[in-house]
Amino acid sequence: MAFEGLSDRLQDVFRKLKGKGKITEDDVKSAMREVRLALLEADVNFKVVKDFTSKVRERAVGQEVLTSLTPGQQIVKIVHDEMTDLMGGSESKLVLGKSPAVIMAVGLQGAGKTTSAAKLANNLLKQGRRPLLVACDIYRPAAIKQLQVLGEQINVPVFAMGQNKPLDIAKASVEFAKSNNRDIIIIDTAGRLHIDEELMDELKDIKSALNPDEILLVVDAMTGQDAVNIAEAFNVDLGLTGLILTKLDGDSRGGAALSAKAVTGCPIKFVGMGEKLDALEVFHPDRMASRILGMGDVLSLVEKAQANIDEKKAKEMERKIRDLEFTLEDFLDQLQQVKSMGPLEDLIGMIPGMSKQLKGVKPDVDNNEIAKIEAIIRSMTLAERQEPNIINGSRKKRIARGSGTRVQDVNRLLKQFDESRRMMKQFADMGKKGKKGGLSMPKFPF
């Protein structure tokens, strides 16, 4: 995960302050000196660092005293707020006007344009839009093929015209979108190893012809300050509307995420968190600041859970729980959903305090535990899943044999299931009495 070094160092700084009942100006000064070093080491632009620390120092020294916080917590809060501000304050949404709306992905070679274009199409598709991917990187035949393969994976059509001029392809794609009822065009453009004039001219021509709603620069977070310099250059020539910062799942030091907005004025709109096509996240400055400061990222966690749990199914589940109709079959279904949220390691990293504690601990156990439970339920007949009471001794033996587990394991699962079913009913009843009454996530017995 990116930011690890920065995150650790900042947490050390704050730990020193936390125990203190009173914080002197000297404490603040020395803390800010360490924050400054930590940021510079994370490859944050030095001018940005200077502004940042002086803002924090000013607020920390002349701070309004919040009675609910200790002085140490107040400084953490000030740093958090200023860091949020630094990264743009609040989320910058895509602004898509006309139909078809046009999004252009630009950037250097290898930054992640093609992948991000497909990820973005995938996100928009999930929001009920009808995107069209357009292959304007004509210089390598493999680039067109790459986009076509990705498009196929997510069921989004790809408009390609071989090695025709990118400008002509872009123009033709608008007509194609209109006659094929696609409402968003996402143009994957060519990149070079360095910024060059010929490429810039090509991009400018496409821009003037299509008047894109969004021109998103895709930059690799691993390139640190270089990413910011690249962004500045593209912005001067093209007028960017936002950035997509990729490879934040790698061990980037984080400098690009922290400096980009301040240096270029362009907000980061999305971050790439992996090679898979669902690994593009909306960038939330406040959550990113929380993550960097080791405050966890509860909101992202909640959102992730929500996106993966089918709303309708959840409602139906809630009703079943309330009426005690919740069966092992449903339980299995929910396990699938939890699994679809991704590896437990990722989720754990987002829970406050957990990432630090669990560093180096392999949560394999839990994944194995899930696999075991799944195997046991799969070895049951449908009748058994729906009416666990009928599972007697000989049935248990059969189930254990079928799932490669022991009778004790089957017993434990049945007991846990029974307990959690009772607990869930209590929660559901409580929810019903409360204002909203929504069980968004079931409680699991492990």
Ligand X SMILES: Nc1nc2c(ncn2[C@@H]2O[C@H](COP(=O)(O)OP(=O)(O)O)[C@@H](O)[C@H]2O)c(=O)[nH]1
Does residue 262 contact residue 45 with C-beta atoms inside 8 Å? yes
Task: Show contacts with ligand X in window 185-214 (CB under 6 A).
Answer: 191
Hunting for tokens 């895509």 — which residue is that? 94
The mark string for 124-143 relative to Mg ion (x by CB under 5 A, - otherwise) is -------------------x
Shortest spacing between CB 336 and ligand X, in angstroms: 25
- The partner in contact with residue 111, picked from ligand X, Mg ion, none with C-beta cut-offs of 5 to 8 angstroms by kind, is ligand X
For residue 250, state whether it binds ligand X (rule: CB under 6 A): yes
Phi first, then psi: give them for residue 367, nearest 5 degrees: -65, -40
Shortest spacing between CB 277 and ligand X, in angstroms: 10
- The partner in contact with residue 253, picked from ligand X, Mg ion, none with C-beta cut-offs of 5 to 8 angstroms by kind, is none
Q: Which whole-number Å values give the CA distances from 311 to 277, 318, 337, 439, in the listed order?
A: 22, 11, 12, 11
- Three-state SS for 243? strand
Shortest spacing between CB 198 and Mg ion, in angstroms: 17
Cis peptide before 100 (omega within 30 of 0): yes
Shortest spacing between CB 14 and ligand X, in angstroms: 29
For residue 59, state whether it binds ligand X (rule: CB under 6 A): no
Does residue 21 contact residue 234 with C-beta atoms inside 8 Å? no
Shortest spacing between CB 147 and Mg ion, in angstroms: 7
Task: Give the one residue of 27, 34, 91, 249 binding ligand X; rule: CB under 6 A.
Answer: 249
- The partner in contact with residue 81, picked from Mg ion, ligand X, none with C-beta cut-offs of 5 to 8 angstroms by kind, is none
Instruction: For ligand X, give the closer residue by CB, 112 or 294.
Output: 112
Size of the site for ligand X (CB under 6 A): 19
Task: Show contacts with ligand X in window 76-135 (CB under 6 A).
Answer: 107, 109-115
Shortest spacing between CB 118 and ligand X, in angstroms: 8
Nearest to 123 by CA among 143, 96, 144, 85: 96
Instruction: For ligand X, give the closer residue by CB, 39 or 280.
Output: 280
Cα(230)–Cα(221) distance, integer angstroms: 11
The 10 Å Cβ neighbour count of residue 444 is 14
Check residue 187 and report its DSSP letter: E
For residue 114, state whether it binds Mg ion (rule: CB under 5 A): yes
Exposure class string for 251-290: b at 16+ Cβ within 10 A, else e:
ebbbbbbbbbbbbbebbbbbbbbbeebbbbbbbbbbbbbb
Choices 24-32, 225-233, 242-250, 396-404 (CB under 6 A): range interacting with ligand X: 242-250
Amino acid at the residue 225 = Q
Contacts of 444 (CB under 8 A, 6+ apart): 334, 338, 420
Hunting for tokens 């076509």 — which residue is that? 148
Hunting for tokens 């009675």 — which residue is that? 67
Shortest spacing between CB 137 and Mg ion, in angstroms: 5
For residue 274, state whether it binds ligand X (rule: CB under 6 A): yes
- The partner in contact with residue 246, picked from ligand X, Mg ion, none with C-beta cut-offs of 5 to 8 angstroms by kind, is ligand X
For residue 272, state whether it binds ligand X (rule: CB under 6 A): yes
Amino acid at the residue 179 = S
Size of the site for Mg ion (CB under 5 A): 3
The 10 Å Cβ neighbour count of residue 434 is 9
Shortest spacing between CB 255 and ligand X, in angstroms: 17
For residue 166, state whether it binds ligand X (rule: CB under 6 A): no
Q: Which whole-number Å values give the CA distances from 425 to 101, 206, 376, 403, in the listed order?
A: 47, 58, 23, 29
Amino acid at the residue 371 = A
Task: Give the one residue of 168, 196, 275, 316 binding ligand X; rule: CB under 6 A.
Answer: 275
The mark string for 239-258 relative to Mg ion (x by CB under 5 A, - otherwise) is --------------------
Q: Which residue is nearest to ligand X (CB)?
A: 272
Burial class (CB in 10 A: 0-12, 13-18, 19+), 244: buried
- The partner in contact with residue 173, picked from Mg ion, ligand X, none with C-beta cut-offs of 5 to 8 angstroms by kind, is none
Does residue 187 contact residue 160 with C-beta atoms inside 8 Å? no
Instruction: For ligand X, give the closer residue by CB, 58 or 275.
Output: 275
- The partner in contact with residue 112, picked from Mg ion, ligand X, none with C-beta cut-offs of 5 to 8 angstroms by kind, is ligand X
Instruction: For ligand X, give the closer residue by CB, 149 or 299.
Output: 149
Shortest spacing between CB 104 and Mg ion, in angstroms: 13
Q: Vertex 381, ends 379 and 383: CA angle to 5°?
A: 145
Sheet holding 101-106, edge to edge: 158-159, 131-135, 184-188, 101-106, 214-220, 242-246, 268-272, 280-282
Instruction: For ligand X, give the closer residue by CB, 36 or 287.
Output: 287
Choices 124-132, 196-204, 247-255, 387-395 (CB under 6 A): range interacting with ligand X: 247-255
Cα(231)–Cα(256) distance, integer angstroms: 10
- Residue 217 CA, chain-centre distance (Å), reads 18
User: Which positions lie near ligand X, rule CB under 6 A?
Assistant: 107, 109-115, 191, 218, 246-247, 249-250, 272-275, 279
User: Which positions lie near Mg ion, rule CB under 5 A?
Assistant: 113-114, 143
